[in-house]
Chains A and B, each alone.
Chain A
Amino acid sequence: MNPEELFLVELTVNGNPLSARVPARRLLSDFLRHDLRLTGTHVGCEHGVCGACTILLDGKPVRGCLIFAVSVSGSNVTTVEGLVNNDGSLGVVQRAFHESHGLQCGFCTPGFITTIHAFLKENPHPTEEEAREAIAGNLCRCTGYQNIIKSVLRAAELIDSGVRDDH
């Protein structure tokens, strides 16, 4: 058997343009985690159900475990690391999770944060029910979701009050 053929992928990750050579079958989640060492993006099921690997692809939340790295050439990828403010302070959704006890073990959290970040761009003033619907594609085994919903509402409140968020 021959070693795997490698393909060029050029993309922007968290604002930084980069290029790499990857096998055709390399998952975007593995590419980000193991090749770029952006380990904030986690993998909980590898079949697109749990949402832990959710990243923003040109601003839209997608499952990193269901996409091949080669297929995102030319795109903008944002991971949870990329949602930290430029001065190193927590981004608004990250801060809301901290303030609302929206996480316990923290493994699913990056997928929720990216999802909610995108959701609040679309709907900056959600009701509690809209907040619940917005996170209903991500699994969490620790929190019972109650404080994650609270985190969504808190993030909206923080944005309204003009708290710094660079992204």
Chain B
Amino acid sequence: MTTKSFGEPILRKEDPRLVSGQGRYLDDLGHEALAAAFLRSPHASARILDIDVTDALDVPGLIGIYTYEDLEGRVAEPLPLLIPHPALLNGRTGYPLANEFVRHVGEAIVMVIAEDRYIAEDVVELIKVSYDVLQPVVGIQNAKAAHNAVHPSVPNNVSAHSVKEVGDARAMIKAAPHKLSLDLFIERSACSPLEGKGVYAIWEEDSQELRLWSSTQTSTGVRAAVAAKLDLPLQKVECIAPDVGGGFGVKIMHPWPEEVLIPWAARKLNRPVKWSEDRREHFISSAHERAQEHHIEVGFDEEGRILGLDVTFFHDNGAYTPYGIIIPLITSTQLLGPYKPASYRVEFTSLFTNTVLVIPYRGAGRPQGVFAMERTVDAIAKYLRLDRTVVRERNFIQPDEMPYDLGLIFQDGRPLEYDSGNFPASMAMLKEMVGWDNFETMRSEYAAQGRKIGIGVACYVEGTGVGPYEGGFVQVETSGRINVATGLTSQGQGHQTVFAQIVADELGVPIEDVFVTTGDTRRFPYAVGTFASRAAVMSGNAIALAARQVRDKALRLAGEALECDPHDLEIVDGIVRVKGDHTKSIALKTVAVLSNPLRYAFDESAKAATQFAVGDTSKPPVPEDQEPGLEGKDYYSPMASTFANGMHAVIIEILPDTAEVKILRYVVVHDCGRVINPMIVEGQIHGGVAQGVAGALFERMAYDESGQLQNASFMDFLMPYATEIPTVEAGHLETPSPLNPLGIKGAGEAGVIPGSAVFASAIEDAEGFEIRRMPISPSELWELRRTMKENA
């Protein structure tokens, strides 16, 4: 009997390889390749006057030095603007190597290729660049003030401006019985995968073909972009994402300058070339996220019901906008969470600054939106002296109101309509788990010992599984091995396991026989990528549909072989058999043999399919509407995103002398529809919560006024260790998505989203004064305490 594996905590198929040192990450490949290193701008804003390579030329092992002047054809053009939007009036992108101007510290100016990385870095040290240093724009305040311009052709440093209204929020606020206003700020952070970016390219001169490997979240995207830049037919370019050491968003951007330059150099030199990003490079030349400043006006009734919500926010998009304005678009739409204000107005302005560019980091604009919304709800509760969860419950969209149209357009260009969810049930579960109603007793017990504790709560809704599509391919080999391929990539989500679980169940085969390949354009050339908690939803469903095709074909062929109606057949443990009569059966691998009529017998099993062995001589060997082989391919393209949701609660203690925040309990209630593998979903939540804690209490990008990132190392950027991260207590609700065949929703980003909101709520609860900026360090909290005391 085949064990059902969907929904079970199946151990990961990728693990034995990865725990024994057999993983193959980017820098584990191409040991013989030439190495690239980059000279990067030390200034945030400058004009390049001269690049002097004289001293560098006689270094043994140097192969080539390249500046913008050396770039050819489309490689010398600006990098693409990947996601245009009507509100993005002044989008700007950089060049693979700086063309006269540099606009952030870390922008690549010179590429050096040498026999090895040590030599390439030696050469970089010997190149002298002279600059006319310009006044930089750092931070939202300076960008708004616009005394200096990041791009002289962009007025007021504004890349994009958008206003969206549902109802007349301003009039509703004016007429509301109660009003409040809040000013909020969230600081920058970054994905910081343990493996940085990397590219390795081989040019085959004889066949004029390029094969490249990139530590990317989208191998199909990189392939298309590189083919276009190098003016190569798509068929002559293949891109493979090998094992990838974490992504969290930063590796969905493409093409990075290096993804264009390394293949370009490999072709030019006709030698394999590799570049592996170091940690400082990752800090100053990849991407950050999060920095936003919000002003909120809210009007509400006696019960705390929101009548009008008016949000105006500024988004720091860094020096360039290659990824468009996806982040503020998500913030502006997902800010509403599980709530239904009677009217809503949101206006955002996206601003250029002379800092590293900003693209999605796990959560992608939602943590800021949730922070804004949840701070507002807490402020209403405090004003009306109501329990914070009661105000939330009074504003929730109810289960019987689903599907619920919020009247806005989501990041995928489709109406923002929640498909399902049960917010009151989630809140009830959260309150029960964390002991919300008994917290005052706990508070008094701690107070009696002179200890100060607080509790926080935060809710979110997350649109997951955005389109346009993903595809799946399933093939049964005559050995019984099942090959599965999908085009999107993996960075630790366990796709080789969860997709195998889906196929094992759909096809009725042991999971051990199923082998999944992701992110290899040779195996599946049509795909979008791994981001927006979409992989399980998109590829999971596509693979399920492909497996169903294979199953139908297998039953039809087996029906012919066993001379019975396919409807009377089932597949169990890789054997097709008659339901109720197990003596009539045929192995799936034998069906695979029969599916491919042969002229040549290459092995014992193949003999069964040769021309003198099988076939109805009155028909062609492959019937007119059929294809040889036991395989299927299908695509899943949803009408709209599916919406997961969750609620977090945290109990903290704040130390009296140091204002250090200690986490006593962290509770998560999460609903991502039907769960394929609960062990993996919990793992995603753990990791997300850790990044939420990091963003709330530890991590920030410390830019000084001249645009130098002062904490661009793991010494100074306080990524938490095990001692800073709590044990997560997680509870699951499963409200199946009605939108896709498997009923699943995404889970990848969820854990991080309410981080800043839930800690701000808890700290405010413990201290009694307003928390309006995150992250918050012990010294900032201590200082806030002191000022509050002085002002009191």
Seen from chain A, the residues whose Cβ lies within 8 Å of a Cβ on chain B are 1-3, 23, 25-26, 33-34, 37-47, 49-50, 52, 79-81, 83-84, 90-91, 94-95, 97-99, 101, 103-110, 113, 132-133, 135-149
Q: Is B248 a contact partner of A141 (Cβ separation < 8 A)?
A: yes
- Interface with A: B9-17, B171-179, B317-325, B602-610, which one? B9-17
Q: Is B31 a contact partner of A37 (Cβ separation < 8 A)?
A: yes
Q: Is A104 a contact partner of B492 (Cβ separation < 8 A)?
A: yes
Q: How far is the CA of A80 from the CA of B244 in the complex (A)?
A: 18
- Interface with A: B20-28, B284-292, B624-632, which one? B20-28
Q: Is B279 a contact partner of A44 (Cβ separation < 8 A)?
A: yes
B725 interface contact, C-beta 8 A:
yes
Q: How far is the CA of A25 from the CA of B728 in the complex (A)?
A: 44
Q: Can you give 13 contacting A-B residue pairs, CB < 8 Å?
A: A1-B59, A33-B27, A41-B21, A44-B714, A45-B279, A49-B713, A52-B194, A83-B20, A133-B723, A139-B719, A141-B690, A141-B719, A145-B686
Q: Is B24 a contact partner of A104 (Cβ separation < 8 A)?
A: no
Q: How far is the CA of A101 from the CA of B244 in the complex (A)?
A: 17
Cβ contacts B683-718/A at 8 Å (1 or 0 each): 100111111000000000000000000000111000
Given contacts A84-B20, A109-B19, 18 further A-B contacts (CB under 8 A): A2-B60, A39-B28, A44-B194, A44-B195, A47-B713, A90-B20, A97-B15, A98-B16, A101-B11, A101-B679, A103-B492, A105-B194, A106-B243, A106-B245, A110-B21, A142-B687, A143-B690, A146-B725
Please give, as numbers and ranges, the residues of chain B lying within 8 Å of A50 by CB-CB distance. Answer: 194, 279, 714
* Other-chain contact of A140, B28, B191, B194, B682 (Cβ < 8 Å): B194
Please give, as numbers and ranges, the residues of chain B lying within 8 Å of A113 by CB-CB distance. Answer: 19
Known A33-B28, A101-B680; contact A42-B20, beta-carbon cutoff 8 A: no
Most B CB atoms within 10 A — which of A49, A50, A79, A141? A141
Please give, as numbers and ranges, the residues of chain A lying within 8 Å of B689 by CB-CB distance. Answer: 144
Q: Which of chain B's residues has its CB closest to A81's CB? A: B21
Q: Is B20 a contact partner of A39 (Cβ separation < 8 A)?
A: no
Cβ contacts B438-462/A at 8 Å (1 or 0 each): 0000000000000000000000000
* Other-chain contact of A103, B18, B60, B714, B719 (Cβ < 8 Å): B18
Q: Is A107 a contact partner of B195 (Cβ separation < 8 A)?
A: yes
Q: Is A47 a contact partner of B279 (Cβ separation < 8 A)?
A: yes
Q: Is A143 a contact partner of B687 (Cβ separation < 8 A)?
A: yes
Known A3-B61, A42-B245; contact A145-B19, beta-carbon cutoff 8 A: no
Q: Is B683 a contact partner of A101 (Cβ separation < 8 A)?
A: yes
B769 interface contact, C-beta 8 A:
no
Q: How far is the CA of A103 from the CA of B246 in the complex (A)?
A: 11
* Other-chain contact of A109, B18, B714, B725 (Cβ < 8 Å): B18
Q: Is B14 a contact partner of A132 (Cβ separation < 8 A)?
A: no
Range of interface residues on B (Cβ < 8 Å): 35 or more
Known A107-B194, A149-B722; contact A49-B714, beta-carbon cutoff 8 A: yes
Q: Is A42 a contact partner of B715 (Cβ separation < 8 A)?
A: no
Beta-carbon contacts under 8 Å, B1-47 to A: 11-12, 14-16, 18-25, 27-28, 31
* Other-chain contact of A139, B11, B683, B714, B727 (Cβ < 8 Å): B714
Q: How far is the CA of A137 from the CA of B722 in the complex (A)?
A: 8
Q: How far is the CA of A80 from the CA of B727 in the complex (A)?
A: 27
B383 interface contact, C-beta 8 A:
no
Q: How far is the CA of A148 from the CA of B46 in the complex (A)?
A: 46
Q: Do most interface residues of chain B lie in helix, strand or loop, or is the interface mixed?
A: loop
Q: Nearest-CB distance from B286 to chain A (Å)?
A: 14
Q: Which of chain A's residues has its CB closest to B279's CB? A: A45
Q: Is A144 a contact partner of B245 (Cβ separation < 8 A)?
A: no
Known A45-B714, A133-B723; contact A107-B687, beta-carbon cutoff 8 A: no
Known A45-B714, A49-B715; contact A136-B245, beta-carbon cutoff 8 A: no
Q: Is A105 a contact partner of B195 (Cβ separation < 8 A)?
A: yes
Seen from chain B, the residues whose Cβ lies within 8 Å of a Cβ on chain A are 11-12, 14-16, 18-25, 27-28, 31, 58-61, 118, 191-195, 243-246, 248, 278-279, 491-494, 679-680, 682-683, 686-691, 713-715, 719, 721-723, 725, 727-728, 751
Q: How many A-B residue pairs have CB under 8 A?
A: 181
Q: How far is the CA of A39 from the CA of B25 in the complex (A)?
A: 9
Q: Which of chain A's residues has its CB closest to B25's CB? A: A107
Please give, as numbers and ranges, the residues of chain A lying within 8 Å of B193 by CB-CB distance. Answer: 105, 107, 141
Q: Which of chain B's residues has its CB closest to A107's CB? A: B245
Please give, as numbers and ranges, the residues of chain A lying within 8 Å of B491 by CB-CB distance. Answer: 105
Known A49-B714, A101-B679; contact A144-B686, beta-carbon cutoff 8 A: yes
Q: Nearest-CB distance from B719 to chain A (Å)?
A: 6
Q: Nearest-CB distance from A99 to chain B (Å)?
A: 7
Q: How far is the CA of A140 from the CA of B719 in the complex (A)?
A: 9
Please give, as numbers and ranges, the residues of chain A lying within 8 Å of B248 by CB-CB distance. Answer: 141
Q: How far is the CA of A91 from the CA of B23 in the complex (A)?
A: 16
Q: Nearest-CB distance from A141 to chain B (Å)?
A: 5
Q: How far is the CA of A145 from the CA of B720 in the complex (A)?
A: 10
* Other-chain contact of B683, A1, A104, A107, A138 (Cβ < 8 Å): A104
Known A2-B60, A42-B25; contact A145-B492, beta-carbon cutoff 8 A: no
Q: Which of chain B's residues has its CB closest to A35's CB? A: B31
Q: Is A1 a contact partner of B492 (Cβ separation < 8 A)?
A: no
Please give, as numbers and ranges, the residues of chain B lying within 8 Å of A2 by CB-CB distance. Answer: 60
Please give, as numbers and ranges, the residues of chain B lying within 8 Å of A141 by CB-CB distance. Answer: 191-194, 246, 248, 687, 690-691, 719
Q: Is B19 a contact partner of A147 (Cβ separation < 8 A)?
A: no
Q: How far is the CA of A25 from the CA of B116 in the complex (A)?
A: 13
Q: How far is the CA of A37 from the CA of B27 in the complex (A)?
A: 11
Q: Is A145 a contact partner of B725 (Cβ separation < 8 A)?
A: yes
* Other-chain contact of A98, B15, B22, B688, B728 (Cβ < 8 Å): B15
* Other-chain contact of A108, B12, B194, B690 (Cβ < 8 Å): B194
Q: How far is the CA of A43 from the CA of B22 in the complex (A)?
A: 15
Q: How far is the CA of A107 from the CA of B490 in the complex (A)?
A: 13
Q: Which of chain B's residues has its CB closest to A129's CB? A: B723
Q: Nearest-CB distance from B139 to chain A (Å)?
A: 26
Q: Which of chain B's residues has its CB closest to A146's CB? A: B686
Known A1-B60, A44-B194; contact A106-B28, beta-carbon cutoff 8 A: no
Q: Which of chain A's residues has its CB closest to B688's CB? A: A144
Most A CB atoms within 10 A — which of B19, B27, B686, B714? B19
* Other-chain contact of B279, A3, A39, A46 (Cβ < 8 Å): A46
Most B CB atoms within 10 A — which of A2, A33, A47, A140? A140
Known A33-B28, A47-B715; contact A106-B19, beta-carbon cutoff 8 A: yes
Q: Which of chain B's residues has its CB closest to A97's CB? A: B19
Q: Nearest-CB distance from A166 to chain B (Å)?
A: 13
Q: Nearest-CB distance from A96 to chain B (Å)?
A: 9
Q: Is A39 a contact partner of B21 (Cβ separation < 8 A)?
A: yes
Please give, as numbers and ranges, the residues of chain A lying within 8 Å of B714 by CB-CB distance. Answer: 44-45, 47, 49-50, 139
Please give, as numbers and ranges, the residues of chain A lying within 8 Å of B243 by CB-CB distance. Answer: 105-107
Q: How far is the CA of A27 from the CA of B23 in the complex (A)?
A: 21
Q: How far is the CA of A51 from the CA of B715 in the complex (A)?
A: 12
Please give, as numbers and ranges, the residues of chain A lying within 8 Å of B28 by CB-CB distance. Answer: 33, 39
Known A2-B60, A49-B715, A141-B246; contact A104-B721, beta-carbon cutoff 8 A: no
Q: Is B492 a contact partner of A105 (Cβ separation < 8 A)?
A: yes
Q: How far is the CA of A26 from the CA of B494 in the complex (A)?
A: 35
* Other-chain contact of A147, B27, B31, B683, B713 (Cβ < 8 Å): B683
Please give, as numbers and ranges, the residues of chain A lying within 8 Å of B25 by CB-CB distance. Answer: 39, 42, 107
Please give, as numbers and ranges, the residues of chain B lying within 8 Å of A37 by CB-CB distance. Answer: 31
Q: How far is the CA of A97 from the CA of B58 in the complex (A)?
A: 49
Q: Is A79 a contact partner of B21 (Cβ separation < 8 A)?
A: yes
Q: Nearest-CB distance from B767 to chain A (Å)?
A: 26
Most B CB atoms within 10 A — which of A37, A105, A145? A105
Q: Which of chain B's residues has its CB closest to A80's CB? A: B21
